[in-house]
């Protein structure tokens, strides 16, 4: 395998793929902590949670840093976390940042979530002015412990166009991910299905260790997940637990939501 042949110490990877890849290694009896040489990973290109970062760090025994970019700007080279892993420093010598209310287009104060709008300063052939990214986050105005003065963007909660409205409640898929990834019995993949008149089902893969055929335990876990999701979302979804590796894996960015509603 290339990672082993080249003794790679750092990777840049989609967080959903890092979790999927862990299953691939498991099937081949490759221990990611012992048999690979990885020390650091930069993850990004899809919204993900702190819980997912911690899970990737645990599986591989490495430091994982969040990164942000968009093809229209520089690809993955717009904002990166420093060693403190406390928000992404925007490269302000390359970009002018504005954060706006996506509904009104008006700027929001630091600390208030809004849509990131970027202007490129260094692109020559095709400058991009006040580009609406649809990505939702807020500015952390306080100085960072690392001493860098470039302002930080908080972890992205999602895109303004992937917010779901379920029974009148605004929900970001990352809210669901945060609940799922906080429980060790939950595996590496999930999908949110919306159908009928606002019925939400969350299909969740179990972790291999939790898949032991004990039906009572699974029922308890299902109830617990339902309660936790209700507390987070204010909507009670149906939870379906499925065997590890049984949900489809996307070729590129993870597709977490299937909306079949007939509204």
Q: Name the site residues for Zn ion (rule: CB under 5 A).
A: 82, 144, 146, 148
| Min separation Cβ 86 and Zn ion, Å | 7
Which is nearer to Zn ion, 82 or 249 (by Cβ)? 82
Quote the CA–CA distance of 48 and 178 in Å, as a whole number: 8
| Min separation Cβ 147 and Zn ion, Å | 7
Which is nearer to Zn ion, 82 or 235 (by Cβ)? 82
* Cβ neighbours around 186 below 10 Å, total: 22
Quote the CA–CA distance of 69 and 76 in Å, as a whole number: 4
Strands 238-242 and 199-206, sheet pairing: parallel
For residue 7, the SS3 value is coil
- Provide the terminal-to-terminal Cα distance of the chain, rounded to the nearest Å: 48
For residue 182, the SS3 value is coil
| Min separation Cβ 78 and Zn ion, Å | 15
Quote the CA–CA distance of 66 and 12 in Å, as a whole number: 10
Q: Are 222 and 239 in contact (CB under 8 A)?
A: yes
| Min separation Cβ 61 and Zn ion, Å | 23
| Min separation Cβ 144 and Zn ion, Å | 3
Which is nearer to Zn ion, 127 or 143 (by Cβ)? 143
| Min separation Cβ 127 and Zn ion, Å | 28
131: left (phi over 0), alpha (psi -120 to 50) or beta: beta
Which is nearer to Zn ion, 40 or 167 (by Cβ)? 40
Q: Which of 242, 245, 212 is nearest to 22 (CA)?
A: 245
Which is nearer to Zn ion, 149 or 262 (by Cβ)? 149
Which is nearer to Zn ion, 86 or 100 (by Cβ)? 86
| Min separation Cβ 85 and Zn ion, Å | 9
Calculated CA dihedral for residues 47, 257, 186, 218, nearest 10 degrees: 160
Which is nearer to Zn ion, 128 or 146 (by Cβ)? 146
């Amino acid at each position: 395998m290339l990672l082993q042949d080249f003794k790679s110490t750092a990777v840049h990877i989609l967080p959903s793929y890092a979790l999927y890849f862990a299953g691939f290694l498991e099937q081949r009896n490759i221990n990611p902590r012992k048999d690979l040489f990885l020390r650091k990973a930069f993850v990004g290109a899809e919204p993900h949670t702190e819980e997912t970062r911690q899970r990737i760090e645990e599986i591989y025994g490495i430091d994982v840093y969040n990164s942000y970019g968009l093809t229209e700007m520089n690809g993955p080279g717009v904002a990166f976390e420093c060693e403190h892993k406390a928000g992404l420093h925007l490269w302000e010598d390359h970009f002018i940042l504005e954060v706006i209310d996506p509904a009104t287009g008006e700027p929001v104060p630091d600390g208030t979530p809004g849509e990131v709008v970027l202007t490129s300063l260094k692109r020559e052939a095709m400058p991009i002015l006040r580009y609406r990214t649809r990505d939702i986050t807020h500015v952390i105005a306080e100085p960072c412990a690392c001493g860098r003065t470039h302002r930080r963007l908080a972890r992205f909660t999602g895109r303004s166009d992937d917010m779901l409205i379920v029974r009148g409640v605004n929900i970001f898929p990352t809210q669901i991910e945060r609940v799922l990834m906080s429980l060790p019995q939950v595996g590496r993949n999930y999908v949110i299905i919306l159908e009928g008149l606002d019925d939400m089902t969350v299909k969740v893969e179990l972790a291999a260790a939790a898949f032991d055929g004990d039906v009572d335990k699974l029922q308890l876990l299902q109830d617990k997940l339902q309660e936790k999701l209700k507390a987070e979302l204010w909507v009670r979804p149906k939870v379906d637990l499925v065997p590890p590796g049984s949900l489809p894996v996307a070729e590129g960015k993870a597709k977490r939501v299937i909306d079949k509603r007939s509204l």
